A and B are shown apart, each in its own frame.
Chain A
């Protein structure tokens, strides 16, 4: 049986909550976790007669995003009303942007894992990003068959970032979402807290026989709030669509929800019950006009972007694209790395990168700490790297020193090496003495080696290192041992 080769097409819509102080059209706070309805003012609960006033901070963040993805920041954009009834939508319409969004176009370059331990480059184009307000929350539990409404979230500023259908696998979708997540945090427009819903993904998924020009019918998976769920939901959906088509069915356009407990997607509503939202320009708000001077000012305040910094790391320090991308995943990590290299010297840049991405990242991960809370500072790590570079300690000992730094056993790598006597032994006489001792105590291994068992040599090296408490320079041990045996 010949199987069709299916191509997957994915586009993402990401709702990124902007980290302003107050709501997009009112002065109420957007802080998370307050008692229900205490952060909902007259405007948010849509009392009769109230009017929206646009929060400039939200616009500024949209501009920052537009600049960061190389998009056009619209000189004029329009707020529109999206009309529908729902209890947690107090006005009976959501203020959003429809025909003229604030950000148009743009792109994001990413590295996608190829599943074989490597990575490939991928560019995802953006369609648009627009400003809108969030709705409140309907609480269906704890109200004995009734629904509770919490309007604290109503009016929270969102930037909805819409990609082109450029992704061809769940891995690409996740890589894009992660890169976008890193970027919005990097440019400080969103806290990126996915548990609290600050960064939510909707995935439009369709499949088509490879080579077919037209897209297949898509289904939209709503509200995915972790990268894992994003991956699971897309993978499940792809297989579901392929199975359906191969069984002779047809995909119907629909909105679906992902159930993390079952790992399945299920239809929420079909195209037939799609709302007519009756969009029209909100007459309470003037067109949003963004002058070149405003854009220039925001540009002047932008931090160096991760892509630029990554390129700099590759150019100046000879890092691989993957390493440079990993180190620029967040501003904090990048800053830590830059500080470490500044202290250790550019010659040690690669070693610094290995430590930041390797032992430090693993240790932080295990302790569930952010790099800004790292017990080992960038300067301390740089001190450690310097001692590796000048052969004061071996890599093995360095791990012990790092652990000691982590546990605050000393102020610096030097202090710990000194206090714990971890300095590498490079004195030929001292190493020879150790070797002699070891050879005397391990005659059996010596005989085995002489009989041609190469492994016996390694065992002897290990014994020497052990006898030196790990401090003997391994290269010297090797060399001297060979000489003695040879």
Chain B
């Protein structure tokens, strides 16, 4: 049953053809069966899931259920969950049981979704492959020797492996869209400020944004609708009412102007990715959309700008992990400074250390203007490019990533090569725009290819509608990896 659309599951629940407890049990059984191979979950929560499912069944019986009531859900382990281990993929927090729920977690609890577990991720959301997890890499359900993408690779893999129908993620530079692309699922990162960051462990505060994974855009719309709305505990939360992101699903594509940034279609994209993306664009034209070339001249500067701003913020955000109040503390140390050094040296992995060092460097006296201020200026230029492009089109489309999923270990020795994989996604975060990735076909070795749609600010509903129309006409999103 959990392979069905949320709409069908909800109908079955209301019709008593299935219970929430049965759905949770089914989901937990799939996790138990598959997690040994895929390692999508760091934690499963059988007892609390079954209890939440029973409560959901009571709500359904009482007629007070919403569209997500009784639906099994996984949270990326970056979200704080009360009474449940919240590791952020790090040894530093491998013992941290959060005493409170993230805002997103609270909202989805209120919606009646049933959390079955916490998904694996790159440590502190830093990475594009899920190889940077203290709990071992997550494997791509389409090919267990390949990465699922990252940093929300566990959530994407859990959806692809049909362990849960919906999952949360976070996207700082592509961490929802790129794993969605690699795992052949749909993922959306809304406009910055749409999803509250309260309780979402910070990587780069000005870029971090919660997002939604599902198999289809239609299901993403239902999940995202339950995750948003103003939260006074997050000063960057936009003062907007929660929206119904399903409202544009039925909107036809006729007249839709799709902008194609020429910079995204230049060299750098693998041929198999290009072929699938071109085919998907042809499908869009068939559905009534027109395509127009646009230009994002500063997009090539997005990677360097991102890898100054994100590490700068991270170096400060991660200072709280000092071994004093919670988290990992070295067993032996000689004095306070030694405790800091050892606890952090032991608690953080290599990529996290690399970004803390880079961030500390770019904020240092004498370098701040040359790096941090300069990067902020680039950020403005990049946002201006998008604003100009949206004068000519309604949505922007292109590849989500230049390649399909790569082999585990293939890029671990070359961080810059790994960073360049984010070339199409990071500019969206720098501008704060919404972005979505949906399955667009398969490339070499039968690995999924994702198409990225970028919307103007608050264009989530339209993006989801566009993707939904595509998914009505195609079945890429419905394909499942071989068990």
A112 within 8 A of B: no
**A276 in contact with B365 (CB, 8 Å):** yes
**Measured CA separation A286–B232 after assembly (Å):** 13
B341 smallest CB distance to A (angstroms):
10
Which residue in A45, A48, A283 is a CB contact (below 8 Å) of B201? Answer: A48
**Measured CA separation A69–B201 after assembly (Å):** 41
B29 within 8 A of A: no
**Using Cβ atoms and an 8 Å threshold, which residues of chain A touch B235?**
51-54, 284-286
**B86 in contact with A48 (CB, 8 Å):** yes
**Measured CA separation A283–B201 after assembly (Å):** 14
Q: With A51-B197, A52-B235 as given contacts, are A276 and B364 in contact (CB-CB < 8 Å)?
A: yes
Interface centre among A54, A92, A278 (most CB of B within 10 A): A278
A85 within 8 A of B: yes
**5 tightest Cβ-Cβ pairs between the two chains A and B:** A92-B319, A283-B206, A278-B363, A283-B205, A49-B199
**Using Cβ atoms and an 8 Å threshold, which residues of chain B touch A439?**
none
B163 smallest CB distance to A (angstroms):
25
A153 smallest CB distance to B (angstroms):
15
B234 within 8 A of A: yes
Give chain A interface residues in 288-314, CB to chain B under 8 Å: none
Which residue in A50, A87, A276, A284 is a CB contact (below 8 Å) of B199? Answer: A50
**Using Cβ atoms and an 8 Å threshold, which residues of chain A touch B88?**
48
**A48 in contact with B320 (CB, 8 Å):** yes
**B319 in contact with A83 (CB, 8 Å):** yes
**Measured CA separation A45–B201 after assembly (Å):** 14
Q: With A47-B98, A49-B198, A92-B320 as given contacts, are A85 and B340 in contact (CB-CB < 8 Å)?
A: yes
What is the 8 Å Cβ interface bit string for chain A, positions 236-247, against chain B (1 contact, 0 not)? 000000000000
**A48 in contact with B233 (CB, 8 Å):** no
> Which A-chain residue is minimally distant from B198 (CB atoms)?
A51
**B236 in contact with A284 (CB, 8 Å):** yes
**Using Cβ atoms and an 8 Å threshold, which residues of chain B touch A42?**
99-100
**Measured CA separation A46–B79 after assembly (Å):** 15
> Which A-chain residue is minimally distant from B79 (CB atoms)?
A49
**A47 in contact with B99 (CB, 8 Å):** yes
B316 within 8 A of A: yes
**A280 in contact with B324 (CB, 8 Å):** no
**Using Cβ atoms and an 8 Å threshold, which residues of chain A touch B325?**
45-46, 90, 149
A63 smallest CB distance to B (angstroms):
19
**Using Cβ atoms and an 8 Å threshold, which residues of chain A touch B102?**
49
B339 smallest CB distance to A (angstroms):
9
**A48 in contact with B319 (CB, 8 Å):** no
B430 smallest CB distance to A (angstroms):
13
A423 within 8 A of B: no
A279 smallest CB distance to B (angstroms):
8
Interface centre among B88, B102, B325 (most CB of A within 10 A): B325
**Using Cβ atoms and an 8 Å threshold, which residues of chain B touch A200?**
none
Q: List 12 A-B contacts (CB under 8 A).
A: A48-B98, A51-B198, A51-B233, A51-B234, A53-B234, A85-B322, A92-B318, A93-B316, A276-B365, A280-B316, A280-B363, A283-B205
**B93 in contact with A48 (CB, 8 Å):** yes
What's the tally of chain B residues with a CB closer than 8 Å to chain A? 44
**A85 in contact with B319 (CB, 8 Å):** yes
> Which B-chain residue is minimally distant from A138 (CB atoms)?
B336
**Using Cβ atoms and an 8 Å threshold, which residues of chain B touch A49?**
79-80, 98, 102, 197-202
B353 smallest CB distance to A (angstroms):
15
**B320 in contact with A46 (CB, 8 Å):** yes
A471 within 8 A of B: no
> Which B-chain residue is minimally distant from A52 (CB atoms)?
B235
**Using Cβ atoms and an 8 Å threshold, which residues of chain A touch B232?**
53
A81 within 8 A of B: yes
Give chain A interface residues in 69-92, CB to chain B under 8 Å: 81, 83, 85, 87, 90-92
**A92 in contact with B316 (CB, 8 Å):** yes
B313 within 8 A of A: yes
Which residue in A91, A147, A278, A283 is a CB contact (below 8 Å) of B320? Answer: A91
What is the 8 Å Cβ interface bit string for chain A, positions 91-114, against chain B (1 contact, 0 not)? 111000000000000000000000
B312 within 8 A of A: yes
**B236 in contact with A286 (CB, 8 Å):** yes
**A87 in contact with B96 (CB, 8 Å):** no
**Using Cβ atoms and an 8 Å threshold, which residues of chain B touch A85?**
319, 322, 340
**Measured CA separation A93–B316 after assembly (Å):** 7
**Measured CA separation A149–B365 after assembly (Å):** 30
A56 smallest CB distance to B (angstroms):
12
**A50 in contact with B198 (CB, 8 Å):** yes
B419 within 8 A of A: no
**Using Cβ atoms and an 8 Å threshold, which residues of chain A touch B321?**
48
**B80 in contact with A48 (CB, 8 Å):** yes
> Which B-chain residue is minimally distant from A274 (CB atoms)?
B365
**Using Cβ atoms and an 8 Å threshold, which residues of chain B touch A279?**
363, 368
User: Which positions in A face B, CB cutoff 8 Å?
Assistant: 42, 45-54, 81, 83, 85, 87, 90-93, 147, 149, 276, 278-280, 283-286
**Using Cβ atoms and an 8 Å threshold, which residues of chain A touch B197?**
49, 51
> Which B-chain residue is minimally distant from A27 (CB atoms)?
B233
**Using Cβ atoms and an 8 Å threshold, which residues of chain A touch B372?**
280
**A280 in contact with B368 (CB, 8 Å):** yes
B333 within 8 A of A: no
Interface centre among A45, A48, A85, A285 (most CB of B within 10 A): A48
**A280 in contact with B312 (CB, 8 Å):** yes
> Which B-chain residue is minimally distant from A45 (CB atoms)?
B325
**Measured CA separation A54–B322 after assembly (Å):** 25
**Using Cβ atoms and an 8 Å threshold, which residues of chain A touch B313?**
283
**Measured CA separation A87–B326 after assembly (Å):** 12
> Which B-chain residue is minimally distant from A25 (CB atoms)?
B235
> Which A-chain residue is minimally distant from B324 (CB atoms)?
A87
B403 within 8 A of A: no
**Using Cβ atoms and an 8 Å threshold, which residues of chain A touch B206?**
283
**A93 in contact with B205 (CB, 8 Å):** no
**Measured CA separation A284–B204 after assembly (Å):** 10
**Using Cβ atoms and an 8 Å threshold, which residues of chain A touch B365?**
276, 278
> Which A-chain residue is minimally distant from B339 (CB atoms)?
A87
**Using Cβ atoms and an 8 Å threshold, which residues of chain B touch A46?**
320, 325
**Measured CA separation A298–B236 after assembly (Å):** 26
> Which B-chain residue is minimally distant from A43 (CB atoms)?
B233
Give chain B interface residues in 209-243, CB to chain A under 8 Å: 232-236
**Measured CA separation A92–B204 after assembly (Å):** 15
For the complex with contacts A46-B325, A279-B363, 14 further pairs of A-B residues with Cβ separation under 8 Å are A42-B100, A47-B99, A47-B100, A48-B80, A50-B198, A51-B197, A53-B232, A92-B316, A93-B316, A278-B368, A280-B368, A283-B204, A284-B202, A285-B235
**Measured CA separation A78–B281 after assembly (Å):** 45
B120 within 8 A of A: no
**Measured CA separation A45–B236 after assembly (Å):** 21
B360 within 8 A of A: yes
**Measured CA separation A380–B197 after assembly (Å):** 61
B86 smallest CB distance to A (angstroms):
7
Which residue in B233, B316, B322, B326 is a CB contact (below 8 Å) of A83? Answer: B316
Which residue in B98, B99, B319 is a CB contact (below 8 Å) of A93? Answer: B319
B102 smallest CB distance to A (angstroms):
6
B173 smallest CB distance to A (angstroms):
15
A294 smallest CB distance to B (angstroms):
17
**Using Cβ atoms and an 8 Å threshold, which residues of chain B touch A50?**
198-199
**B364 in contact with A278 (CB, 8 Å):** yes
**Measured CA separation A45–B316 after assembly (Å):** 16
**Measured CA separation A46–B317 after assembly (Å):** 10
B70 smallest CB distance to A (angstroms):
27
**Using Cβ atoms and an 8 Å threshold, which residues of chain A touch B318?**
92
> Which A-chain residue is minimally distant from B196 (CB atoms)?
A51
**Using Cβ atoms and an 8 Å threshold, which residues of chain A touch B205?**
283-284
